[in-house]
A = this chain, B = another copy of it.
Amino acid sequence: MVERVDALMRSYVEELGDSTALTLFDRLPHGKRLRAKLVLKIARESKEALKLASIIELIHAASLLHDDVIDDAMSRRGVDSINAIYGNKSAIMLGDILYSKAFFELTTLSDEIAKTISNAVTMLSIGELLDVELSKEFNPDPRLYMDMIYKKTAVLIEASAKSAALLSSKDSEAFALYGKNLGIAFQIVDDILDITSDTKTLGKPALNDFKEGKSTLPYIYLYEWLDSSGKSQLLNLYKKALNEDERRWLLEKMRESAAIERAIQKAKALGNEAINAVDDPSLKSIISDMIDREF
């Protein structure tokens, strides 16, 4: 099924009749196609569901292209990013091409779906701006973090689930809630893995986010728990390349404070709320597979 989404996405780009655009598109990593799988699971296989899934994945690919330029990211899913290979210009242009083709195809779906998806893209771009804003200085406010990851990550997953439900006459609000919580929980888990998961190259956690100015949920919880001298020490490490002592201090305080566990609990609570919103075993397993990754 996901192969059919890949093929449809490619045919949309091919239709534009520009060989450079197609060459660039073919260099994009396919990713997990989480959003497409979700659409197809909720709406079942149909011509319209495949179309919706492909449109959403084009939008997601476009947003990643622009994200990578904005974040100066040189790789994406283990392969060199388009901006690293072909430069920022190509990444911006290909992103614009995929966005606009997706919007064009969206006009062939129902008004309500077109509105749902295009509204999500607007919030998605606001989310990118919020992410950059929040990375300027340490953010201790969990609400700002939650709002940002909702927009940056969850909003398109929410719109995917909602649109798929609309397509198949299911309860769109329930599925929207499912998608929203799945997306937020997914991002929380991703942010935790930056602290807990050993990288292949380092053999230890990357701790990249904090260096890049991203105060993710575990850091916010840790900050809440620390006393004032601990808070100062944490702020000292913000945006810094850490030496061994500093790494050790940080990971030790994460352990003592149970900040990671608290963040995992938050993700699980959101996941449970999502599972309860829709009565569907296969959607339940998406949530549990996503949350029960190895922390």
The chain A residues found within 8 Å of chain B, CB to CB, are 16-18, 20-21, 63, 66, 69-70, 88-90, 92-94, 96-97, 99-101, 103-104, 106-107, 111, 114-115, 118-119, 121-122, 124-126, 128-130, 132-133
Contacts and interface: CB of A to CB of B under 8 A. Distances in A.
Q: Which 5 A-B pairs have the closest CB atoms?
A: A96-B125, A100-B121, A104-B118, A100-B122, A97-B125
A70 B69 CA distance: 12
Contacts of A107: 107, 111, 114-115, 118
A89 B92 CA distance: 11
A69 B96 contact: no
Given A107-B118, A122-B101, A96 B20 contact: no
Contacts of A17: 126
A133 B86 CA distance: 12
A122 B97 contact: yes
Given A99-B99, A129-B18, A133-B20, A122 B93 contact: no
B96 A128 contact: yes
Contact of A92 (B16, B66, B133): B66
Number of copies: 2
Contacts of A132: 89-90, 93
Given A118-B100, A118-B107, A119-B104, A128 B93 contact: yes
Nearest to A105: B118
Given A66-B92, A92-B70, A18 B100 contact: no
15 contacts: A17-B126, A18-B129, A20-B133, A63-B96, A93-B132, A94-B129, A96-B128, A99-B99, A100-B124, A100-B125, A103-B106, A104-B121, A104-B122, A107-B114, A107-B118
